[in-house]
Amino acid sequence: MKIALIGYGKMGQAIEEIAVAQGHEIVLKIGIENLGDFTVEAVAKADVAIEFTSPHSAVANIKKCFDAGVAVVCGSTGWLEQWDEVIAYCQEKQGAFLYASNFSIGVNLFFELNNYLAKIMAPHNDYDVSMEEIHHTQKKDAPSGTAITLAERVLEHIGRKKQWVNHISDNPAELEIISERIDPAPGTHKIKYHSEIDDIEIIHTAHNRKGFASGAVMAANFLNGKKGIYNMKQVLGL
């Protein structure tokens, strides 16, 4: 498989290492120092583009890949207010797109665990629920995309919570997400159910970027040759 890396920071370099070890070819690497090389013609050499950049550039990057007829695996977060626009453009171009707020296999299993726990905790009104997330200081968005995904699943099941907020809250209708930025933390997410009697917590802690990078390469393998819109649940068969 021929891969274009759109975003060549620490994550892009981790993806490159794993992809090359698996026998894939990196045909394009775009970082902050060579943005001029990111052309439709250049990215068209790839089978799949893996896009890990920033909220302000992700949508334009994704669209350019669709213009080139290249499938896109996207791990950038913070741009989802433009989700409908991107999906419509993908369909217009008859492209292939796979987005995940987190590509780690462990995190995606954690998503399922969180969903199940929220479902069984829903009737127990004596438990309040809150969240914490920790990332490195280069993380541009807060809360993280992973935290938002987790929070949305909680809100689906815990009807007494109406919205998430990214600050300490004493409003029982708000799901509190506390974000911390500490180097060199690659990512920790905690969901806590608290009552006067006891606490129930589930925690996922990433030790390095390898889990995210491995999942992104797995997603690219899955997407290669396909058309349409996909997610990590389909990649993992969950």
| CATH, residue 52 | 3.40.50.720
CB 193 within 8 A of CB 129: yes
215 in the same domain as 99: yes
| 231 shares a domain with 216 | yes
- Residue 180, classed as helix, strand or coil, is strand
Summarize the confidence of residues 31-45 as an average pLDDT. Answer: 96
Rounded mean pLDDT, 154-160: 97
Instruction: Answer yes or no: do 221 and 194 share one domain.
Output: no
Let me know the angle formed at the C-alpha of 110 by 208 and 188, rounded to the nearest 5 degrees. Answer: 40
- DSSP-derived letter for residue 80 is G
- Point out the least confidently predicted range of 18-27, 158-167, 168-177, 208-217: 208-217
Enclosing domain of residue 95:
2-103+210-236
> Same domain, yes or no, for 216 and 171?
no
Residues 90 and 66 in one domain: yes
**Same domain? 166 vs 88:** no
Q: What is the pLDDT averaged over residues 202-228?
A: 93
Residues 127 and 191 in one domain: yes
Say yes or no: 220 and 201 in one domain: no
Number of domains in the chain: 2
* pLDDT at residue 145 in the model: 85
Q: Assign 123 a pLDDT band (cuts: 50, 70, 90).
A: very high
* Tens digit of each residue's pLDDT (9 = 90 or more) over 161-202: 999 999 999 999 999 999 999 998 878 999 999 999 999 999
Do 189 and 71 belong to one domain?
no
CA distance 84 to 236: 24
Spot the catalytic one: 64, 135, 157, 189. 135
Same domain, 223 and 162: no
Q: What's the rounded mean pLDDT across residues 30-37?
A: 95
Which of 33-47, 132-146, 175-189 has the highest average model confidence (pLDDT)? Answer: 33-47
Residue in 2, 63, 119, 139 annotated catalytic: 139
What helix, strand, coil percent values describe the chain, rounded to 5?
Answer: 40, 25, 35
For residue 130, list its beta bridge partners: 176, 192
> For the domain that residue 114 is a member of, what is the CATH number?
3.30.360.10
Together in a domain, 123 and 177: yes
192 has catalytic annotation? no
The verdict on 124 and 180 lying in the same domain is yes
Mean pLDDT over the full length of the chain? 95
* Residue 29: band (very low, low, confident or very high) from pLDDT cuts 50, 70, 90: very high
The 10s digit of each residue's pLDDT in 71-87 is: 999 999 889 999 999 99
Of the candidates 137, 127, 135, the one whose C-alpha atom is nearest the C-alpha of residue 175 is: 127
- Is position 139 annotated as part of the catalytic site? yes
